[in-house]
Chain A
Amino acid sequence: MARTKPTVLKSSAAVPTVPPTDGAVGTTPGAVPATSTDKPATPAAAPAGPGIEPPASEPLTRPPAPSPRKDAPRTMRDLRLATEARRRASVPKGADNPLREGLRLERVPDPHIFVLFGATGDLAHRKVVPALYQLWRTHLLPHEFTLVCVGRRPYTDEAFRDELKASLSKFSRSQPIERETWDDMASRITYHRGDFNDPAAYSALADHLDAIDLVHGTRGNRLFYLATQPSAFPEIIAQLGRAGLDHEHHDGGWRRVVIEKPFGRDLESAIRLNREVGKVFRERQVYRIDHYLGKETVRNLLVFRFANGIFEPIWNRRHIDHVQITVAESIGIEGRGAFYEETGASRDFLQNHLLQLLSLVAMEPPATFEADALRDEKVKVIRAIAEMTPAQVRRDVVRGQYGPGWVSGKPVVGYRQEPHIDPESETETFIAARLMIDDWRWSGIPFYLRMGKRLPKRATEIAIQFKEVPHQLFRESASDPEPNLLAMRIQPDEGIMLRFGAKVPGLGVDVRNVTMDFTYGSAFQTDSPDAYETLILDALLGDASLFTRADEVEQAWSIVDPIIAAWAEEGSPDFPSYEAGTWGPAVADDLLAREGRRWRRI
């Protein structure tokens, strides 16, 4: 390997109070252990190793300028690719670290700066910062971790830290907030004011980040987390590119961007956004977050399917009658009126969460548990769902909007009476769809998906309804034995339930349905991480398995777009169409009833 001198890093920890070595290691006795200071050590400034003077001029961390050859790369992108190729070529092929095996984490996140755009917003305060606090608290972030919060409003570092602390007291899942832990983390938080459209703000940000690199030893690694309004994504990404903040360093400094959903509002805008992102970042640097994929039970779905030999043989059209996926929310729009008017249930849930769950249920086993192998299989499922014609949309898709009603014993207003909602709004708060996957495994098996707001309870479940036994032996039973059902509860009460028939004790042959219930909470009472903790840590480790790829996003839009287009042609729906606190419009029941089925009672 042609060695490149790495940047010398210093951190602010105290010097260990152990006796110095007596020369047990090193060719020269009397090795001098490093002393830590608050300043970064540079090759020139660092204490030299055992008796060897550092060279007068050490190479800098930046790559040498390429010589102007005839076949030299011409664009910045080419330069980056060429530099990376050189770097990779210098490491022996297949050089994995053999010391990694068996350790708690596959890899400890590198030192980095977490740059949070939209830091003053709701998402940052409710989810992102509490997740970072939890990771910090449990020592899953590196010592050099630094958080730079970017927002438009004026704050001092101190004032913003106070605001974050107040939010943590409300939203962190670990209460009370540990003072010492928070103080330690807060010392690593700075606030950077800037307008998302202002190039000067990004130049200043770049300087600020470079300065942090020197002080905290964050090695040029940056994760940009966009927790802003979706409309700001293209501008922020373009500005990051203009300021050179996307450039990965030749010596390992990585740049990643995490983008929150919704990713586009239709296929065209998603393609456009992908193109804008692709101009600046390479796909492997982009992490499109769908927090459903970070939930413990969703991740368990893969384990359940592919680590248990008994399910896979029956996981197909021969044994399964149909699949139901329900995402029920008892809450309304919770003050997000403006956002919801733009999205509705189809864009907010069907395009991402519901289709992601469907693809995990229906996908073929991937060859490896690696990001692209997983995502290849998921996208194949979505590709196998036929786009709907307007007639199919009328037949197989139901939309609804809640009116006033009672939820959890309290009266609630209808959607059109919510703040910031058009009194004549046609935005759907409920959607149910019957989708068919045209492939070898699932041909002819309907997947029923439904999502609604202001339903009677909060529940997310996937139910696999198996076929009836071919011949009923127990007709004399007082109750008809029902076909087996396997339900995977995503939230709340995460777990798995299997329903089967059992004989009632007694002289006759009476069959009753009983359930065998596995509840995560009672079997493993260890603390499950929040979805954001899982996903943020994955992004910091560079594992994109649980993030959506550009082609997945576009493919999902190609299913949702024809539905929205067909609705646009239909004219005004008769909204509101269901009372808050009920299971959606009656026509949603018809969707199943016409095939002799019914929604599972949850």
Chain B
Amino acid sequence: MAEDLNGTGRAAPGTILAVGTRPTGGRIEPVGPARPGEPQLRWQSRGTTIDEIEKELGRIWAQPQTVFSRGGERGGRQAAARTSVMNLVIVAGDKETGERSAETISRLTGRHPSRTLIVLLADPDGPPWLDGRVQAHCMLPRADAPESCTEMIFLTAGGETGRHLAALVTPLLVHDLPVTTWWPGEPPLSTEPAGELLDATDRLVVDASVWTSDGLGRLRQLADLYDLYPRISIRDFALVRQSRWREAIATLFDMPDFLPYLPFLRRVSVAYGTRDEVGAPGSTNVVKPLYHVAWLASRLGMTVVSPLTPVASKAGAPRPRPGEKPPLHRGLAAKLRDPRSSEVAVVIRPVASSAPAGTTQRVEILAERRGSELRADVTAEAENVHVNVWLDGVQALDRTFKAPRRNDIDLLAEALEGGGGDHVGMDTIRMAARLAGARASHAVHPG
């Protein structure tokens, strides 16, 4: 599927058997019988204007050969159902991102039936142009069930055309269905073209952990979207990816012996991996570790007293001698206030690690209640999350949760599956932005 993004107008010879009456393409004869679970390309055509593309989309469903397939034991025909539960828009800033996204989507075919539009922005300084490829993929969910078909539209927009995303996308959306926009890479969230598209978007999917620098500037922009587009729901892979940590921490406080300590947190510390020699602030994306703190703070109804600032190095610490490795930076610190007006210290600090930069290494929680102390220590590896708890210095829990890391396909599937608003996500992102220095404009809604 990825090669569809590469061409500028011609299909690879021999790959398409066009039966339609127009030179732009049409129905594709299946090479063999449909097999359950395997999508088949059933239609491919092309248009260079939105009108042409719309006509091609209409043509697919007017062709009885496309929408009927052999079915059942009796060899009769079964109508292939066109199924759509959402519009999925993918905005790719470059060809490689587009190819990667198309590959991810291809693995999800059939799982989340949608009209998918993959928009590739190319040649921004050239003349305006548009190239659109329209495909229909059909799949048998089971051998004895009717086929279901979904559409995929590859749009490559050049010049001025690419700066009017909403004008490209809006006419091609299926009416009344929710619009999910997946914006891989670094979305220009504060630009006008992005704003126009987000105006028509119900759910935005991003991955803040790949943003450059510490990621906090764009994170503040992301949180602003909630105010600018009140109906938008945001799924950040950086947040979804860490749900296994949250599951483990939440399970810890499911236990009746530990739950009473939850309102009495005194300190939260998150260690993240860095490959920078000293892990200086700004050198590593810290969105993921920050989300742990923001999630806890927002669920527990805390407010920000002072946002994250670099921790000063210890007074009197010896300077490294020539040739000696400098010590790691002490990270960022902030202060929160809980609903009882007690202060909660926050530390986000780097540790040298071979893991991808910004990966959470450890979450430590300290709570004090009526003179009794709970200390929880959460770590994770590829397949498991470990939780250790000490009560007044005595180990009270050592538990391992089986929870493997998830890849982009799982994350996208989860982002698409989650329906409706996600106020836990919203509260977390807003709290993270506030910890990153954004002004508070909305209260969080603790559960």
Instruction: Map CB proximity to A onto B421-447 as digits: 1 under 8 Å, 0 otherwise.
Output: 011110000000000000000000011
| Contact yes or no, B399 A18, CB < 8 A | no
Number of chain B residues close to chain A: CB under 8 A: 80
The one of B142, B347, B377, B380 in contact with A521, judged by C-beta atoms closer than 8 angstroms, is B142
Interface hits, B331-368 → A, CB 8 Å: 347, 349, 351-353, 361-362, 364-366
Docked Cα-Cα span, A97 to B263, in Å, equals: 10
Instruction: Decide if A526 touches B388 in the complex (CB within 8 Å).
Output: no
* Closest Cβ–Cβ distance, residue B138 to chain A (whole Å): 10
Chain A residues within an 8 Å CB radius of B247: 103-105, 108
Among B111, B259, B386, B388, the one with the most A-chain Cβ atoms within 10 Å of its Cβ is B388
Q: Which of A11, A27, A52, A523 contacts B400 (CB 8 A)?
A: A11
With known contacts A36-B400, A104-B243, A95–B259 Cβ distance under 8 A: yes
Q: Which residues of B contact A9 (CB under 8 A)?
A: 397-399
A 1-31 to B, binary, CB cutoff 8 A, 1 in contact else 0: 1011110111111111111010011110001
Q: How far apart sit A4 and B391, CA to CA, in the bound complex (Å)? A: 11
B413 neighbours in A (Cβ, 8 Å): 526
Let me know if B249 and A52 touch, CB within 8 A. Answer: no
The one of B246, B300, B353 that contacts A103, using a Cβ cutoff of 8 Å: B246
Asked whether B176 is an interface residue with its Cβ less than 8 Å from the other chain, the reply is no
The answer to whether A18 touches B250 (Cβ under 8 A) is no
Asked whether, in the complex, the Cβ of B400 is within 8 Å of the Cβ of A143, the reply is yes
Q: Judge whether A49 is part of the interface by a CB distance below 8 angstroms.
A: yes
For residue A474, give the distance in angstroms from its CB to the closest CB of chain B: 26
Q: How far is the CA of A142 from the CA of B402 in the complex (A)?
A: 7
Name the interface residues of A55-89: CB closer than 8 Å to any CB of B.
Answer: 55, 58, 87
- Asked if A21 meets B362 with Cβ closer than 8 Å, knowing A31-B375, A98-B446, the reply is yes
B329 contacts A by Cβ under 8 Å: no
A325 to B351, CA, bound (A): 63
Q: Does B267 lie at the interface of the complex (its beta carbon under 8 Å from any beta carbon of A)?
A: yes
A101 to B85, CA, bound (A): 25
Complex CA gap A142/B249 in Å reads 14
Is B377 touching A14 in the complex (CB atoms < 8 A)? Answer: no
A435 smallest CB distance to B (angstroms): 32
Q: What are the residues of chain B within 8 A of A8 when measuring CB–CB?
A: 394-398
Segment of A39-47, A150-158, A269-277 in the binding face? A39-47
Of A24, A51, A104, A252, the residue contacting B393 (CB under 8 A) is A51
Asked whether A46 lies within 8 Å of B142 as measured between CB atoms, the reply is: no
Contact across chains for A139 and B365 when beta carbons are under 8 A apart:
no
Verify A31–B377 contact, CB threshold 8 A: yes
Known: A519-B81, A526-B417. A252 touches B255 (CB 8 A): yes
Can you name the residue of chain A whose Cβ is closest to the Cβ of B446?
A98
Query: When A33-B377, A144-B399 are in contact, do A26 and B386 touch as well, CB less than 8 Å?
Result: no
How large, as a class, is the contact surface on chain A? Answer: 35 or more
Are B425 and A102 in contact (CB-based, < 8 A)?
Answer: yes
Which residue of A43, A48, A91, A492 is within 8 Å of B259 (Cβ)?
A: A91
Given contacts A3-B257, A97-B254, whether A18 and B353 have CB atoms under 8 Å apart is yes
Residue of B at shortest CB range from A493?
B145
A50 within 8 A of B: yes
Bound CA–CA A99/B377 (angstroms):
16
A142 and B401 contact, CB distance less than 8 A: yes
A334 to B299, CA, bound (A): 53
Q: Report chain B residues within 8 Å CB of A11.
A: 398-400
**Given known contacts A49-B390, A51-B393, A98-B300, A18 and B379 CB-to-CB distance under 8 angstroms:** yes
Q: Is B113 an interface residue (CB 8 A)?
A: yes
B399 and A217 contacting across the interface, CB-CB below 8 Å: yes
A5 near B401: Cβ-Cβ < 8 Å: no
With a cutoff of 8 Å between Cβ atoms, the chain B residues found around residue A505 in the complex are: none
User: Which residues of chain A come closer than 8 Å to B34, judged between CB atoms?
Assistant: none
Q: Are A139 and B402 neighbours in the complex by a CB distance under 8 Å?
A: yes
Q: Across the interface, which residues of B come within 8 angstroms of A252, CB to CB?
A: 255-257
From B268, B366, B394, B424, name the one whose CB has the most chain A CB atoms within 10 angstroms. B394
| B195 in the interface (beta carbon within 8 A) | no
CB-CB < 8 A to B251: which residues of A?
Answer: 107-108
Tell me if A34 counts as interface (CB < 8 A to partner B).
Answer: yes
Contact indicator A139/B404 (Cβ below 8 Å): yes
CB <8 Å contact, A18 and B390: no
Nearest residue (CB) in B for A22 is B349
Interchain CB contact under 8 A, B254 and A107 = yes
Q: How far in angstroms is the closest Cβ of chain B from A49?
A: 3
How far, in whole Å, are A171 and B377 apart by their CA atoms in the complex? 41
CB-based nearest B residue for A521:
B141
Per DSSP, chain B at the interface is mixed
A522 touches B141 (CB 8 A): yes
The chain A residue sitting closest to B253, CB to CB, is A97
Asked whether A58 lies within 8 Å of B394 as measured between CB atoms, the reply is yes
- Asked if A175 is at the interface (CB within 8 A of a chain B CB), the reply is no
Q: How far is the CA of A469 from the CA of B249 in the complex (A)?
A: 58
Residues in A with CB closer than 8 Å to B256 are 87, 90-91, 252
Answer whether residue B52 sits at the interface, using C-beta atoms and an 8 A cutoff.
Answer: no
- Counting CB contacts under 8 A, is A503 at the interface? no
Report Cα–Cα, A300/B327, bound state, in Å.
58
CB of B144 within 8 Å of the partner chain:
yes
Chain A hits for B306, CB < 8 A: none
Q: Is the CB of B262 within 8 A of A108?
A: no
Identity of the chain A residue whose Cβ is nearest the Cβ of B252 in the assembled complex: A99
Of B267, B271, B447, the residue contacting A18 (CB under 8 A) is: B271
Report if A472 contacts B (CB, 8 A): no
Q: In chain B, what residue has the closest Cβ to A1? A: B260
B253 touches A99 (CB 8 A): yes
Query: Closest residue of chain B to A19, judged by CB?
Result: B351
Q: Which residues of A contact B425 (CB under 8 A)?
A: 102
Whether a CB of chain A sits under 8 angstroms from the CB of B97 is no
A144 proximity list for chain B (CB < 8 A):
399-400
**Residue A111, interface by CB 8 Å:** yes
User: Of all chain A residues, which has the CB nearest B268?
Assistant: A25
Interface residues of B in 77-127 (CB under 8 A from A): 81, 83, 85, 110-113
Measured in the bound complex, the distance between the Cα atoms of B144 and A142 in whole Å is 36
A135 to B366, CA, bound (A): 33
Contact A36:B145 (CB < 8 A) given known A6-B257, A52-B393? no
Q: Which residues of A contact B186 (CB under 8 A)?
A: none
Chain A nearest Cβ from B47, distance in angstroms:
27
B67 interface hit (Cβ, 8 Å): no
In chain A, positions 479-537 with a C-beta closer than 8 Å to chain B are 492-493, 517, 519, 521-526
- Interface status of A470 (Cβ within 8 A of chain B): no
B379 near A525 with CB under 8 A, answer no
B404 → chain A, closest Cβ, in Å?
7
Chain A residues with CB under 8 A of B423: 102
Chain A residues with Cβ below 8 Å from B353 are 18-19
Given the interface pairs A41-B398, A49-B392, the reply to whether A143 lies near B384 with Cβ below 8 Å is yes
Contacts of A92 in B (CB 8 A): 260
Q: Are B267 and A25 in contact (CB under 8 A)?
A: yes
Is B148 an interface position by the 8 A CB rule? yes
B394–A49 touching, CB < 8 Å: yes
B244-289, CB < 8 A from A? 246-247, 249-251, 253-260, 262, 267-269, 271
Instruction: Please tell me if the beta carbons of A16 and B393 are within 8 angstroms of each other in the complex.
Output: no
Q: How far is the CB of A602 from chain B (nearest CB, A)?
A: 15
Q: Does B296 contact A (CB under 8 A)?
A: yes
CA distance A25 to B376 in the complex (A): 9
Given contacts A96-B447, A525-B113, 4 further A-B contacts (CB under 8 A): A25-B268, A34-B388, A46-B395, A522-B83
List of 6 A-B pairs having minimum Cβ-Cβ separation, nearest first: A52-B393, A102-B424, A49-B393, A522-B148, A49-B390, A25-B364
22 A-B contact pairs sorted by A residue (CB < 8 Å): A6-B258, A6-B397, A8-B396, A9-B399, A16-B380, A19-B351, A21-B364, A33-B377, A33-B379, A36-B400, A46-B395, A95-B259, A96-B447, A98-B299, A99-B299, A101-B447, A108-B401, A111-B399, A521-B145, A522-B145, A523-B113, A526-B417
Q: What residues of chain B have their CB less than 8 Å away from a CB belonging to chain A?
A: 81, 83, 85, 110-113, 139, 141-142, 144-146, 148, 243, 246-247, 249-251, 253-260, 262, 267-269, 271, 295-296, 299-300, 347, 349, 351-353, 361-362, 364-366, 372-373, 375, 377, 379-381, 384, 386, 388, 390-404, 413, 417, 422-425, 446-447
